[in-house]
Amino acid sequence: MTLAVDVTGLNKSFGAHHVVQDLAIQIETGKITGFLGPNGSGKTTTLRMLCGLLTPDSGEGRVLGLDFRKDAEAVKRQTGYMTQRFSLYEDLSIAENLDFVARVHELDRRRERVRDSLDRLGLTARKTQLAGSLSGGWKQRLALAAAILHDPKLLLLDEPTAGVDPKARREFWDEIHGLSAGGMTVMVSTHYMDEAERCHDIAYIAYGKLIARGTAEAVIDQSGLVTFRAEGPGADRLARDLATKPGVVMAAPFGAALHVSGVDRAALDAAIAPYRRPPLVWTEVQPTLEDVFIRLMSGAEDTFQ
Amino acid sequence: MSRQPSERPSGGLSINRIVAVLIKEFIQLTRDRLTYAMILVMPIAQLMLFGYAINGDPRDLPTAVYVQDQGPMARSTLAALANSGYFRIVRQATSPAELDDAIARGQVQFALTIPADFSRRVVRGDGAQILVEADATDPAATGGAIAALANLPQVALTRDLVGAVARPAAPPFEVIVHRRYNPEAITAYNIVPGLLGVILSMTLVMMTALGVTREYERGTMESLLATPARPIEVMIGKLTPYVVVGLIQTVVILTLARALFAVPMAGGWLALSLGVTLFIIGSLSLGFLISTLARTQLQAMQMSFFYIMPSILLSGFMFPFRGMPAWAQAIGGVIPVTHFLRVVRGAMLKGLGLAEMWTSLSALGLFVVAITGLAMARYRTTLD
């Protein structure tokens, strides 16, 4: 097993705000790692430090086998970065944007690469259209095509599917898995749980610290969370009552049903005992990743506030 | 009675809705600190600066004299000249060539020659004359002084001429005025070459400042910085198209100046080309520097205006440079447009070359070096 990313002691502050704190992260070559965490937890900052867009205050390690601080230029050349906001030129056409990226990376067989990329995107017929006139889903596909035009070994995606429809998201993830199968290492930050589950690995950070790491199953298991699901008329209305009971970490409606979770099984049982009566039907279920993350988020807040 | 929003008539003007927008607008105004500062600083600074600095009737204009007549009447004439308030004698030339050189280089605004036989001719009533040559490149700068000269013969010699020679009917001598470089006092000759400097500043500084700031504002800089492109590569790549824009503007302005306004082109092409090149590069670097300081295109626009206003008002473009008080001339002296105007007017109207204009040209060179250096130091390869 080789590591595409292996950094430790990563720190970054903006003024008094310590955005990334002593972060250590290893990412296996060829894996897709989901980068999760609440807004402002330091995901974007970490990605930007890895691709040389921000200078870390401290930290060391290797990215693609290179010292990521000293050889930032060399790392840049082998890294693709797709920004959270669409950051290609809206007043250039699709083909002109790709052509610019190819030139700035000094790629050989430029015309061929751009042509192939357009073909893959299915945008050959619309290549003279301005990038700004594309819909959200197409912009995102174009941005991905631009980020991988130079065949990077490491691909960093910052919330790539925000505001994109489900079909386009599905296709996007198929593409990411295709790239990963071809040996590309991918780091993707996201807020979507279904996307997190599509990743080989998950890294959960909150308030600049790495809180959980591993496969989705492992993260769920490690959480020690016990979840009960109540179904029946009015089940979802009980959330507010149950949330305040001792032993209940959270109670959240899921459509007409209710998920109640806690870490202490006995206390949780005691808390829901008064509600164990018809017409409600209670079953113990596997906690979802979302349950775990909401738990992690509130846990992290407790620690850092 | 409680008023639900739905009860309100939907067609009419609502004061509440206007107030809502109004409050929002005021809050946003105070959020952008630079804009906030500009609202207060702009009028105060400009009022103080331009209110005191601008003077359409310049006095104390530097004058060189070449006096061949050592008699008391020549001295009286010089004294009367100084007393008019328009002329300040800064140099006693020893030859006509020295006098000519001083006015050509723009060291003095006027050159006065009093011939050797001046006193003798005055006494004899034999058509005594003195010669005043004016650098009339800018007709506004010399207008007041030349008007004052008309009065000189009447007042200059009142004490010297007593008794028989005192003939109040006819003036004792005549002042010959030569308006050099722009004999017909055509304002366009001065303004049109000056416009070259102002137009180049306005378009080039603003275009670059906005062009680079736009990349930050739209987020495209984030992608650009993630590529292996180096700062110097980005800078050269971004600025070169505007060099072409600047050269096209120069050709268009000069062609129109000749075709429409018949502005003379006295020569000095090499100095002019060098001046234009330096000025274009300097203006672009300044735009680039502004873009490293401004966060939004609006701020970049405001900063550009902050540069352009004094460039128009204090450079000698709109108002005579020598009309300004010393402190304003000092400010004008650090504005690149001032030196560019001197080069353009010197070359086009006077036909001056590199040797005569090296001070202004080196000032432009210094501007390029300093601003480019600052811009490069400020430009970041990261988003820090």
What is the reported pLDDT for B225? 85
Contact B293, B208 (CB under 8 A): no
Q: What is the CA radius of gyration of chain B?
A: 28
State the number of CA atoms in the 13 A half-sphere of A158 facing the CB. 22
Among A167-181, A278-292, B25-39, B331-345, which is the least confidently predicted range?
A: B25-39
- Give which of B325, B335, B333, B336 is closest to B48, Cα–Cα: B325
Residue A255: both structure tokens together: 């459509």
What is the reported pLDDT for B9? 55
Contact A44, A12 (CB under 8 A): no
Beta bridge partners of A35: A189, A203
Of B222, B227, B382, the CB nearest to A105: B227
Average pLDDT over residues A3-26: 90
Given CB atoms, is B380 within the 8 Å cutoff of chain A?
no
Beta strand pairing status for B173-180 and A209-214?
Answer: unpaired
- Give which of A35, A36, A26 is closest to A5, Cα–Cα: A26
Q: In chain B, where are the structural domains located? A: 61-180, 187-378
Confidence of residue A245 (pLDDT cuts 50, 70, 90): confident
Of B219, B381, B384, the CB nearest to A87: B219
Element (H, E) at B147: helix B139-149
pLDDT higher than 60, residue A3: yes
Owner of token pair 């500084």:
B205
Is A105 close to B220, i.e. CB distance below 8 A?
no
Q: Which amino acid, one-letter code, is at A163?
A: G
In CATH, the number for domain A1-78+153-168+176-219 is 3.40.50.300
pLDDT tens-place string over residues A185-227: 999 998 888 888 889 999 988 888 888 888 888 888 888 888 8
Q: Torsions phi, psi of A192, nearest 5?
A: -90, 125
Contact A32, A25 (CB under 8 A): no
Nearest CA in chain A to B223: A87
Given CB atoms, is A85 within the 8 Å cutoff of chain B?
yes
Reduced to 3 states (helix: H, G, I; strand: E, B; else coil), residue B135 is strand
Can you give the pTM of this predicted structure? 0.77
Helical axes B358-378 vs B269-293, angle rounded to 10°: 30
Tens of pLDDT along chain B (384 residues) come to 445 555 555 678 888 889 989 998 888 888 877 777 778 887 888 788 788 888 778 888 999 999 998 888 888 888 888 888 899 999 898 999 998 888 888 889 999 999 988 888 888 888 888 999 999 888 888 888 888 888 888 877 777 776 555 555 577 888 889 888 888 778 888 888 888 999 999 899 999 999 889 988 888 888 888 888 877 788 888 889 999 999 999 999 999 988 988 888 888 889 999 999 999 999 999 999 998 888 888 889 988 988 998 898 888 888 888 888 888 889 999 999 999 999 998 898 888 888 888 999 999 999 999 998 898 888 776 777
- Give which of B110, B120, B122 is closest to B174, Cα–Cα: B122
Is A85 close to B226, i.e. CB distance below 8 A?
no
Helical axes B297-313 vs B336-345, angle rounded to 10°: 50
What is the rounded distance in angstroms from the CA atom of residue A94 to the CA atom of residue A129? 6
| DSSP characters over chain A | --EEEEEEEEEEEETTEEEEEEEEEEEETT-EEEEE--TTSSHHHHHHHHTTSS--SEEEEEETTEETTTTHHHHHHTEEEE-SS--S-TTSBHHHHHHHHHHHTT-SSHHHHHHHHHHHHT-GGGTTSBGGGS-HHHHHHHHHHHHTTT--SEEEEESTTTT--HHHHHHHHHHHHHHHHTT-EEEEE-S-HHHHHHSSEEEEEETTEEEEEE-HHHHHHHHT-EEEEEESTTGGGGHHHHHTSTT-SEEEEETTEEEEEES-HHHHHHHHGGG--TT-EEEEEPPPHHHHHHHHHHHHHHHH-
Contact B64, B113 (CB under 8 A): no
B-chain CB neighbours of A48 within 8 Å are: 383
Q: In chain A, where are the structural domains located? A: 1-78+153-168+176-219, 85-151, 226-286
A-chain CB neighbours of B225 within 8 Å are: 53
Domain made up of A226-286: CATH architecture: 2-Layer Sandwich (3.30)
- Give which of A288, A154, A295 is closest to A211, Cα–Cα: A295
What is the reported pLDDT for B81? 87
pLDDT higher than 90, residue A267: no
Beta strand pairing status for B110-114 and B61-67?
Answer: parallel
Is B383 close to A48, i.e. CB distance below 8 A?
yes
What is the reported pLDDT for A102? 93
Contact A212, A287 (CB under 8 A): no
Q: What is the CA radius of gyration of chain A?
A: 22
What is the reported pLDDT for A305? 32
Is B222 close to A87, i.e. CB distance below 8 A?
yes
Given CB atoms, is A79 within the 8 Å cutoff of chain B?
yes
What is the rounded distance in angstroms from the CA atom of residue A76 to the CA atom of residue B308? 39
In CATH, the number for domain B61-180 is 3.40.1710.10
Selected residues 97-116 of chain B with any CB under 8 Å from a CB in chain A: none
Given CB atoms, is B218 within the 8 Å cutoff of chain A?
yes
Strand order in the sheet with A209-214: A79-82, A154-158, A185-189, A32-36, A201-206, A209-214
pLDDT higher than 50, residue A99: yes
Nearest-CA distance from A83 to chain B in Å? 7
What is the reported pLDDT for B4? 54
What is the reported pLDDT for A182? 92
Among A48-57, A73-82, B1-10, which is the least confidently predicted range?
A: B1-10
Cβ partners under 8 Å of residue A78, min gap 6: A64, A152, A153, A154
Is B220 close to A88, i.e. CB distance below 8 A?
yes
| DSSP characters over A209-250 | EEEEEE-HHHHHHHHT-EEEEEESTTGGGGHHHHHTSTT-SE
Given CB atoms, is A110 within the 8 Å cutoff of chain B?
no
ipTM above 0.90, yes or no: no
In B270-345 the beta strands, taken as DSSP E runs, fall at none
What is the reported pLDDT for B1? 46
What is the rounded distance in angstroms from the CA atom of residue A207 to the CA atom of residue A300? 8
Is B226 close to A51, i.e. CB distance below 8 A?
yes
Query: Which of A71, A87, A148 should one mutate to test binding to chain B, selecting the residue with the greatest count of B CBs within 10 A?
Result: A87
What is the rounded distance in angstroms from the CA atom of residue A288 to the CA atom of residue B2? 47
Confidence of residue A303 (pLDDT cuts 50, 70, 90): very low
Given CB atoms, is A88 within the 8 Å cutoff of chain B?
yes
Nearest CA in chain B to A104: B229
B-chain CB neighbours of A146 within 8 Å are: 223
Of A77, A88, A106, the CB nearest to B223: A88
Owner of token pair 């349950």:
A291
pLDDT higher than 60, residue A28: yes
Contact B360, B219 (CB under 8 A): no
Given CB atoms, is B10 within the 8 Å cutoff of chain A?
no
What is the reported pLDDT for A302? 44
Residue A186: both structure tokens together: 């991918």
What is the reported pLDDT for B66? 92
- Cα distance between the two ends of chain A: 38
How high is the mean pLDDT of chain A? 87
CA distances, B267 to each of B263, B344, B346 (Å)? 12, 10, 9
Residue B29: both structure tokens together: 């105004």
Given CB atoms, is B224 within the 8 Å cutoff of chain A?
yes
A-chain CB neighbours of B227 within 8 Å are: 76, 101, 104-105
Given CB atoms, is A83 within the 8 Å cutoff of chain B?
yes
A-chain CB neighbours of B384 within 8 Å are: 54-55
* Torsion on CA atoms B283, B287, B293, B298, rounded to nearest 10: 130
